[in-house]
Amino acid sequence: MKVWIADMLTSLRASYIREVRAYFATPLAYVFVAIFLMLLGVFTWEASRFFDTGLADLQPFFYWHPWLYMIFLPALSMRLWADEAALGTTEILFSLPVSLFGLAAGKLLAAWTVAALSLVLTFPMWITVNYLGAPDNGAIAITYLTSLLMAGAFLSIGAAMSSLFSSQVLAYIAGIVVAFMFTAAGWPMLLGAISGLIGPGAGELVAQFSFLTYFETAQRGVLELRALLYFCGVIALWLSLNTVWVAHKRAVA
C-alpha cells in the first residue's frame, strides 16, 4: 500500500508539473483566463445590469459561473489526454512504470490550477462591492469555495472525455454535452417540464443531480456538507472513469 501511494504521488507530481508548464508555455492558459474574465465581466456588468440593481452583492456575478464553466472548462481540459495522441507521446507515456491514477490526478489538478487562477483574478469584483456597500462577505467566500469545487467537477468530466476520445474536438463536444446534462438538470424550465409530465417527485429527483441545485444553495450563504460531498463525489467518479479508460487504452496498445 505504501509503495502504491508513493508511486501515485510521484506520478501525480510529475504529471502536474508537466501539464502546468504545458499550459503556460503556450498561449492557451493566458487566452483562456483573458477571455473568461472578459466575458464574465460583460455578463456581470452589462447583461445582469449590476449597477441597476442597487445592491452591493455578487449574485449577478456568480449567476453566470455554471454556464460559463460549461462552455469554457471542457475547452481547457480537452487537450489533457487527446493531446498525447496528437503528439504521438501516448505509447511512451504508457510504457513508463507510473501510476495511471496519479497521471490522471496530476493532469486534472493542472487544469484546476488554471481555473483557480481565473477565480483569483476576479477578486477585484469582491473589492468593488465592498467599496459600494456592505455585502455578506461570508456568503461570498462560501460561494467562491463552492464555485472552485464546481469548476473541479466540470474539469473532471472534460478530462475523462479527453481520455475517451483521441480528437480534441470530439472531447470538447462530449464534455459540453455531459456538462450541460449536469447543469440543465437543475434548470427551472426543465424541472417544470419534467414535473408536469411525470410528477413533482421526478423533478425533485432530477434536481439532486444538478450542479445548479448545490451552487444556488451556496449563493444563499449556506455551506452544506452534502454540497461538498456531491462535488467531491463527482470529481472522484469521473477521475476514476478517466483512470479506467486510460488503463483500457494502455492494455490494448
CA-CA-CA-CA dihedral for 34, 223, 111, 63, to nearest 10? -30
Mean pLDDT calculated for residue range 7-22:
89
* Reported confidence tier of residue 193, pLDDT bands at 50, 70, 90: low
d(CA 34, CA 134): 29
Q: Which residues of 100-137 are buried (b: 16+ CB within 10 A; e: fewer)?
A: bbbbbbbbbbbbbbbbeebbeebeebbebbeeeeebee
d(CA 228, CA 12): 23
What single-letter DSSP state applies at residue 167? -
Tell me the whole-structure pTM to 2 decimals.
0.91
pLDDT at 36 over 60: yes
Contact present, 172 and 74 (Cβ < 8 Å)? yes
Of residues 120 and 59, the one with the higher pLDDT is 120
pLDDT at 164 over 70: yes
The domain limits of the chain are: 2-252
